[in-house]
Amino acid sequence: MTDSFKTILVTGAGSGIGRATARAFLAQGWRVALLGRRRERLEEAAAGDARALILTADVGDADQVEAAFAAVKAAWGRLDVLFNNAGQSAPSAPIDEIPVAEWLAVNSANITGMFLCARAAFGIMRHQSPQGGRIINNGSISAHVPRPGSVPYTMSKHAVTGLTRTLGLDGRAFNIACGQIDIGNALTDMAAKFTQGVPQANGEVRVEPVMDVAHVADAVLHMAGLPLDVNVPFMTIMARDMPYIGRG
């Protein structure tokens, strides 16, 4: 049964997984705060829905994140779910060829951004009445099995797993659940390269299977809809035949 008073904030909501997820929650009657850097993309994703709240912010900027979450609290009085989704990758390269600026940019989004948004959401959820909520972090299959030349991205996603495990423990005292969804080959603009061929661990370049991003949105909906005394700590969703189970 849809609860029209449920609220969720989706980071990176202007494209890809974030966009698909924000739209799925709007379709189910949730109030959805769409956060991203480009207002025009967020407005396109929201498609004029009256239950959407547009928030422009860089997740790596502490002041902008605090202002965005304060706007959610001012508008709705509470936050039930955070889909901590925003992130970025970097071009594949050996570690000694990766510019330090690229490393820092990935960290800003994938580690600092995840921390700042989780911190802000946790603070709201801890002090609201009724107390509690749910944080869902977007991890990656790279947190388990890296792709060649992916040091910044893979390291950052290991950090996300650490955040998920710690919040899953720390949140218990405040009725806050935390889980992670690790996604493999959902067809977004970022993943379109898989259909053209990408490097494999054995040195070959191969086309990889992909899946509809709507399946990811449905999975996040399922996680978000559970009662707070139930949690999915980690979920992996992937194109069945992608080279994950046996990369090498």
In this structure, which long-range contacts are made by residues 45-50, counting pairs with CB atoms below 8 Å and at least 24 apart in sequence?
45/13, 45/14, 45/15, 45/18, 45/19, 46/22, 47/23
Are 31 and 5 within 8 A, CB to CB? yes
Residues in a beta bridge with 36: 56
Per the listing, tokens 């978000």 go with 224
Are 208 and 239 within 8 A, CB to CB? yes
Are 87 and 142 within 8 A, CB to CB? no
Residues identified as active-site: 153
